[in-house]
Amino acid sequence: MAVYKETIEVKSHGKTPTYIDITKDVRRVIEESGIKNGICAVISPHTTCSVFFEEFCHDYNEDGDEFLQEDLNNVLAKIKEAGAEALFLNHAENPKTVSDLYATIKRAKELDMITVVCADSTVEAKAVACMDPDIVLAEPTDLIGTGQVADDSYTIETVKALNAINPNVLVMIASGVSTAEDCYNVVKLGADGTGATSGILNAPSPAQRVREMAEAIVKAKNEK
């Protein structure tokens, strides 16, 4: 089996998002390979660069970007204009790549939007903290919706690790949190906050459950 590899170097324009059409470069590499039948894989090894397919457009704005690219650039701005003040990213049901997370967090900061980024393990939470979001929401995926909270060691170790890497990031510990007692314990162990979905929605009185949780968090904060 024949294998052919070549590197295509591209350069961004600077601070703004940069789109570079590499179609001709890819065709050239294929022709130079001499391979007539096979698969061509195009990848980017960089965390701040990605490869994607986009419909070709002949219309450009005053900045030189295609209109489809302009939509990608401005999607967060449009969300902001609609009234959103925060972004909830990387939930277990909609995980993101490292490059997507980094770019989105960076753009959100430019728009003065709060970023809450989910992470499964302590290792993943540490990696996310390096991207400087406002809040890291650490929650073991296998406990989501179970009513079973992570053990105390997970909370203590995660909070300690994230504070050491980025003391400016707030730490939330969730997953399985369903009662006011759960909220109290998580914050008492060092977390800045917690969160719950099924524990609230499945409660006899969701509004009452929210009040109880909020009061428990405030109590734990005051006792620190």
Annotated catalytic residues are 91, 139
Three-state DSSP class for 72?
A: helix
Instruction: Give the whole-angstrom CA distance, residue 224 versus residue 219.
Output: 9
Token readout for 132 is 């400087």
Which tokens sit at 39? 């698969």
Q: Which residues contact 182 (CB under 8 A, 6 or more apart)?
A: 149, 176, 194, 196, 199
List, as one string, the DSSP characters of 184-212.
Answer: HHHHHTT-SB---SHHHHTSSSHHHHHHH
What are the respective helix, strand and coil percentages of the chain, to the nearest 5? 40, 10, 50
Contact between 151 and 121 under an 8 Å Cβ cutoff? The reply is no
